[in-house]
C-alpha cells in the first residue's frame, strides 16, 4: 500500500508533464501555421485564381515552399509528439546509451521520409531521389569528414561499449567519471560531486589512444615503493606489513617483493573506488614507511 502511494503520484505527475509538453507543441504548430504557412497558402491560392497578379515562377516557388514547410514542419511536430511514446515502449530493453542511439535513429528516419516526400511531391522519380540522396550523402560526407568520423566513433562508443555513462575512465591523461557521450565530445568529470569543472574529450581521441576503464564500483589499483637500503629482516617486515594491510577492510591489499633494472621494490595492489584511491594509497604508503623505518 505504501509502495503504491509512493509511485502512483510520481507517474501521474510524469503523465501530466508529457501531456503539457504535447499541448505546447501543438500550440506552437498552430501558431506557426497561422503566421507562416497560412499567408503563403493564401498568396498561392489568390495567384492561381487571378485575384492578384503573381508570376508562374513565383507560384512554383510558393508551391515548393508549401511542400517543404508541410513536410518538415509535420515531421518535426510528429517527432515531438511521439518521441516520448516510442522511448517509453522501448524502456527497459537496453541501457541509457542504447536509448540515446535509438532516439537519434528515429529522428533521422522521420526526416529522411520527409525529404523523400518533398522530392516526390515535386515530381522527382524514386530512382532520381535515390541517386540524388546517394550523391548528396557522398559529397556531404566528404566535405564534413571530420564530423562524420566523430559520428562513427560516437556510434561505436554506444554499441561496442568500451565504457558507459557513470564509469570512471582514463584516456590521453584525462581521468574522471563519464557524464555524457555525445556525437562530438565525451564529457568527463574528475570531481563529480562539484559543478562546472568537467572536461570535454573529442571522440577521435578514443580511437587514437588506449582507454582504461575503472568501472563504476571498486577496481584494483597499484603502486610501487623502491627500497634503497635493504635490511636483513626485510622478509619479516614485509610479513608485518601484510598483517597490517589486512586491517584495511575491503581493500584486499597484496604486497609482493620484486625487482627490476631500477632496483628492489615492493609492489602493492589494492581494491578501491575511484574517489577513495588516493586516500587509501596514502594510508598504505604511510603504514609501509613506518614499518620499514623510512619515515623522517
Examine residue 6 and state whether it is found in any structural domain, yes or no.
Answer: yes
Residue 177 maps to which CATH number?
A: 2.30.30.60
Domain count for the chain:
3
Examine residue 85 and state whether it is found in any structural domain, yes or no.
Answer: yes
pTM of the complete model: 0.49
pLDDT of residue 33: 61
Among 182, 200, 215, the domain-final residue is 215
pLDDT of residue 8: 40
pLDDT of residue 3: 42
Q: Are residues 139 and 18 in the same domain?
A: yes
Among 192, 215, 238, the domain-final residue is 215
Examine residue 150 and state whether it is found in any structural domain, yes or no.
Answer: no
Examine residue 154 and state whether it is found in any structural domain, yes or no.
Answer: no
Examine residue 153 and state whether it is found in any structural domain, yes or no.
Answer: no
**CA–CA gap between residue 288 and residue 248 (Å, rounded):** 13
What single DSSP character describes residue 52?
S
What is the chain's pLDDT, residue by residue, as a tens digit (296 residues)? 444 443 344 455 555 555 655 566 566 666 666 666 667 667 667 666 667 676 666 667 777 777 777 788 788 888 888 877 777 766 655 556 667 767 777 888 888 888 888 877 777 666 766 666 676 666 655 655 666 778 788 888 888 889 988 899 999 888 888 988 888 889 998 877 766 678 889 988 998 899 988 888 888 888 999 988 888 888 888 899 888 888 877 788 899 989 888 888 999 999 888 888 888 999 999 988 888 886 54
Q: Are residues 6 and 138 in the same domain?
A: yes
Q: Are residues 207 and 257 in the same domain?
A: no
**CA–CA gap between residue 247 and residue 52 (Å, rounded):** 92
Q: Are residues 24 and 130 in the same domain?
A: yes
Examine residue 122 and state whether it is found in any structural domain, yes or no.
Answer: yes
Q: Are residues 210 and 98 in the same domain?
A: no
Q: Are residues 180 and 281 in the same domain?
A: no
Q: Are residues 209 and 223 in the same domain?
A: no
pLDDT of residue 216: 83
CB atoms within 10 A of CB 240: 13
For residue 267, with 0-12 CB atoms within 10 Å meaning exposed, 13-18 middle and 19 or more buried, which class applies? middle
- Check: CB of residue 135 under 8 Å from CB of residue 184: no
Map residue 134 onto helix, strand or coil: helix
**CA–CA gap between residue 6 and residue 18 (Å, rounded):** 20
pLDDT of residue 114: 85
Q: Are residues 78 and 23 in the same domain?
A: yes
Examine residue 50 and state whether it is found in any structural domain, yes or no.
Answer: yes
pLDDT of residue 268: 92
- Check: CB of residue 250 under 8 Å from CB of residue 217: no
* Residue bearing cell 587514437: 208
pLDDT of residue 291: 86
Q: Are residues 247 and 123 in the same domain?
A: no
Q: Are residues 170 and 103 in the same domain?
A: no
- Check: CB of residue 268 under 8 Å from CB of residue 236: no
* 28: containing domain: 2-143
CB atoms within 10 A of CB 62: 18
Examine residue 151 and state whether it is found in any structural domain, yes or no.
Answer: no
Amino acid at each position: 500500500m505504501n509502495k503504491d502511494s509512493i509511485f502512483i503520484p510520481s507517474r501521474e505527475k510524469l503523465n501530466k508533464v508529457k501531456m503539457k509538453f504535447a499541448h505546447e507543441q501543438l500550440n506552437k504548430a498552430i501558431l506557426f501555421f497561422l503566421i507562416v504557412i497560412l499567408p503563403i497558402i493564401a498568396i498561392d491560392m489568390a495567384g492561381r485564381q487571378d485575384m492578384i497578379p503573381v508570376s508562374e515562377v513565383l507560384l512554383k516557388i510558393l508551391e515548393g515552399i508549401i511542400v517543404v514547410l508541410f513536410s518538415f514542419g509535420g515531421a518535426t511536430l510528429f517527432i515531438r509528439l511521439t518521441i516520448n511514446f516510442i522511448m517509453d515502449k522501448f524502456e527497459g530493453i537496453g541501457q541509457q546509451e542504447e536509448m540515446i542511439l535509438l532516439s537519434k535513429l528515429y529522428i533521422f528516419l522521420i526526416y529522411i521520409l520527409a525529404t523523400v516526400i518533398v522530392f516526390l511531391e515535386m515530381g522527382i522519380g524514386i530512382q532520381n531521389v535515390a541517386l540524388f540522396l546517394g550523391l548528396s550523402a557522398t559529397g556531404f560526407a566528404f566535405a564534413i569528414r571530420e564530423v562524420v568520423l566523430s559520428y562513427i566513433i560516437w556510434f561505436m562508443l554506444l554499441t561496442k561499449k568500451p565504457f558507459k555513462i557513470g564509469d570512471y575512465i582514463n584516456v590521453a591523461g584525462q581521468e574522471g567519471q563519464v557524464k555524457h557521450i555525445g556525437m562530438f565530445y565525451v564529457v568527463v568529470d574528475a570531481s563529480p560531486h562539484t559543478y562546472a569543472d568537467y572536461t570535454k574529450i573529442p571522440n577521435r581521441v578514443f580511437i587514437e589512444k588506449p582507454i582504461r576503464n575503472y568501472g563504476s564500483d571498486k577496481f584494483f589499483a597499484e603502486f610501487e615503493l623502491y627500497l634503497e637500503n635493504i635490511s636483513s629482516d626485510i622478509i619479516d617486515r614485509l610479513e608485518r606489513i601484510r598483517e597490517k594491510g589486512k586491517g584495511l577492510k575491503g581493500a584486499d591489499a597484496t604486497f609482493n617483493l620484486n625487482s627490476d633494472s631500477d632496483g628492489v621494490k615492493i609492489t602493492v595492489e589494492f581494491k578501491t573506488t575511484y574517489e577513495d584511491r588516493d586516500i587509501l594509497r596514502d594510508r598504505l604508503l604511510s603504514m609501509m614507511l613506518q614499518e620499514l623505518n623510512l619515515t623522517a
